[in-house]
């Protein structure tokens, strides 16, 4: 039997464009994380690898690939229980988490990124501390029947900061499809 989505759109609208808290990456930005990212795609750019060349460059120091932001700021895959509990508490209180919980009631829990757009304002690198992100839901579509199952297009924007400055280093816009997997 097909699900009814009546009233879902109105429930989700309450979570769009709500104020957000800054959430910090689990640990400071380190050269080793940057190099694992670069190694993944075999990127030999000396601005990320060679301290001498990087120091002589217009950046004046080793930097991170600006486009590695999402990877470098991602949540740890494991934390000690008390740290994980604190992070879960902060994240569960966000409008995004509440919207996702509503979608989960309808079986829509599988996520795939449809489009990711980022704008980079300034270089950042090792020594800049942790990466902070402020993640705001900006749009949620009505339910669509997609080729992988029923789902919604869920759009959010993220402002990224480091502990070095209160000015954002980047802004991202993410369009994701959150769908009911395993329904085909």
Partner 1 sequence: MTITESPTHRRSREWADVSVGEELEPLTFEVTRSTLAKDVVGTRDLYPIHHDHEFARANGARDIFLNTMWYQGLVGRFVNEWGGYESFLRRLSVQMQAHGCPGDVLTVRGTVTAVRRDEAGRGLIDIEVAIANRDRDDAVVAKVTVELAA
By CB under 8 A, name the binding residues for partner 1: 36-47, 50, 52-53, 56-59, 65-68, 70-71, 74-77, 110-120, 123, 147-149, 181-182, 184
Say how far apart CA 80 and CA 6 lie, in whole Å. Answer: 41
Residue 110 is given by DSSP the state E
Q: Which is nearer to partner 1, 140 or 178 (CB)?
A: 178
Three-state SS at 58:
coil
Q: Which is nearer to partner 1, 10 or 145 (CB)?
A: 145
Say how far apart CA 168 and CA 42 lie, in whole Å. Answer: 28
Please state the closest distance from residue 10 (CB atom) to partner 1, in A: 28
Please state the closest distance from residue 19 (CB atom) to partner 1, in A: 26
SS (H, E, C) 116-179: EEEEECCCCCCCCCCEEEEEEEEEECCCEEECCEEEEEEEEEEEEEECCEEEEEEEEEEEEEEE
Q: Which is nearer to partner 1, 17 or 112 (CB)?
A: 112
Longest Cα pair distance anywhere in the chain, in angstroms? 65
Please state the closest distance from residue 102 (CB atom) to partner 1, in A: 20
In Å, how far from its chain's centre is CA 126? Answer: 20
Please provide residue 11's backbone torsions phi and psi, each rounded to the nearest 5 degrees: -65, -40
Please state the closest distance from residue 35 (CB atom) to partner 1, in A: 9
Please state the closest distance from residue 147 (CB atom) to partner 1, in A: 7
């Amino acid at each position: 039997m097909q699900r009814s989505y009546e009233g879902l759109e109105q429930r989700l609208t309450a979570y769009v464009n709500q104020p957000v808290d800054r959430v910090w990456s689990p640990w400071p930005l380190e050269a080793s994380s940057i190099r694992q990212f670069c190694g993944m795609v075999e990127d030999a750019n000396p601005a990320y690898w060679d301290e001498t060349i990087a120091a002589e460059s217009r950046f004046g120091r080793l930097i991170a690939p600006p486009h590695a932001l999402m990877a470098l700021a991602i949540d740890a895959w494991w934390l000690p229980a008390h740290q994980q509990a604190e992070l879960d508490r902060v994240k569960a209180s966000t409008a995004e988490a509440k919207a996702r919980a509503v979608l989960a009631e309808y079986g829509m829990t599988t996520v795939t990124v449809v489009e990711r757009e980022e704008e980079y304002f300034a270089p950042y690198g090792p020594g800049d501390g942790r990466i902070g992100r402020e993640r705001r839901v900006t749009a949620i579509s009505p339910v669509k029947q997609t080729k992988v199952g029923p789902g919604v297009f869920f759009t959010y924007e993220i402002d990224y900061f480091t502990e070095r400055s209160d000015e954002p280093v980047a802004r991202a816009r993410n369009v994701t499809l959150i769908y009911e997997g395993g329904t085909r």
